[in-house]
């Protein structure tokens, strides 16, 4: 929400607090028309704008028809560590600093976390301009469950490290979201097929909100074959979580044995029975009866 003169609604309130304000601004992931209305107001109100790519920022401001009044500096992976103290100094001096990345929300696989951490440690107010998100857009378009998900960012470039990272998530039940470079997509999908299984459902979302937007859905093996010929554009991969495993079928003797093992380890029988029943997917009474039967069999 902005005031009638397009000044950010919280600018005056923040000015009475000691120090400045760090504003994390979400930017369009493709179509400039998706920019939130407040972004233009923040671009004109900021004393200092830290941009991942100043050239892209210039194109964005031209598309939005706004002209930043404050100083613009670059803030990207290569100079993030060196420039953070300078930005913190401006913030503690009372400046309103706007942080923007090439696309999406700062800190989400982009520069930002280091500055937010430093600002918080210095008692600086941090707020945000919500904006488009490739993670949420791809998740919504994937056709996969969205009630629970986890964002995994970019996979490691080396094959061994990539496989190790995927194995860590092999049993994850939540939907998984990854970013990937187009020239590494085929290798990433092949690795996912190897670790998650050929039939695991997934979606490859390419060039979201842009002219050539494309969403490919299907089993991982099928998607890996499609990507083998080469794919262009910004890529987000959404993978279904691990399927629920059917409880292991155990007979009465094995149920009793597992309870006994837990008891020998110092667990109370009641708790041991509850855990074994939960793991086996059977009623606690069934496990209790198995324990009693085993005890009677052993006393004969």
Contacts by 167-174 with C-beta closer than 8 Å and gap 24+? 167/195, 170/195, 170/196, 170/242, 171/242, 172/241, 172/242, 173/148, 173/241, 173/242, 173/244, 174/148, 174/149, 174/150, 174/241
Q: Which CATH number fits domain 11-132: 3.90.1150.10, 3.10.450.230, 3.40.1010.10, 1.20.1630.10?
A: 3.40.1010.10
pLDDT, position 280? 82
Low-confidence ranges of the chain (pLDDT < 50): 1-7, 9, 11-16
Domain boundaries, the chain: 11-132, 135-239, 252-298
Contact between 22 and 127 under an 8 Å Cβ cutoff? The reply is yes
**CA–CA separation, 131 and 49 (whole Å):** 17
- The whole-model pTM stands at 0.74
C-alpha pair distances (Å), 207 with each of 83, 134, 138, 236, 297:
31, 10, 10, 9, 67
pLDDT, position 18? 55
pLDDT, position 266? 85
pLDDT, position 296? 81
Residue with tokens 């109100």: 45
pLDDT, position 2? 43
**CA–CA separation, 97 and 8 (whole Å):** 13
**CA–CA separation, 141 and 128 (whole Å):** 25
CATH superfamily of 135-239: Tetrapyrrole methylase, C-terminal domain (3.30.950.10)
């Amino acid at each position: 929400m902005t005031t009638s003169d397009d000044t950010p609604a919280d600018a005056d309130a923040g000015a009475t607090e000691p120090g400045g304000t760090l504003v994390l601004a979400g930017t369009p992931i493709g179509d400039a028309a998706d920019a939130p209305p407040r972004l233009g107001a923040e671009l004109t109100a900021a004393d200092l704008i830290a941009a991942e790519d100043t050239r892209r920022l210039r194109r964005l401001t031209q598309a939005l028809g706004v002209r930043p009044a404050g100083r613009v500096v670059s803030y990207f992976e290569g100079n993030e560590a060196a420039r953070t103290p300078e930005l913190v100094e401006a913030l503690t001096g009372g400046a309103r600093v706007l942080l923007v990345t090439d696309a999406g929300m700062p800190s989400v696989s982009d520069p930002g976390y280091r500055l937010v951490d430093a600002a918080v440690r210095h008692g600086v107010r941090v707020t945000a301009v919500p904006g488009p998100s490739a993670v949420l857009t791809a998740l919504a378009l994937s056709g996969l469950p969205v009630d629970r998900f986890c964002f995994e960012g970019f996979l490691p470039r080396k094959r061994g490290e990539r496989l190790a990272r995927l194995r860590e998530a092999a049993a994850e039940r939540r939907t998984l979201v990854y970013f990937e470079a187009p020239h590494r997509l085929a290798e990433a999908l092949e690795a996912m097929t190897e670790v998650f299984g050929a039939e695991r459902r997934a979606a490859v979302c390419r060039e979201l909100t842009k002219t050539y937007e494309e969403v490919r859905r299907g089993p991982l093996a099928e998607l890996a074959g499609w990507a083998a010929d080469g794919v262009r554009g910004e890529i987000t991969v959404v993978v279904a979580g691990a399927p629920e495993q059917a409880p292991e079928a155990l007979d009465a003797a094995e149920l009793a044995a597992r309870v006994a093992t837990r008891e020998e380890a110092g667990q109370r029988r009641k708790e041991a029975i509850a855990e074994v029943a939960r793991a086996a997917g059977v009623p606690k009474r069934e496990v209790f009866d198995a324990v009693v039967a085993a005890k009677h069999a052993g006393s004969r």
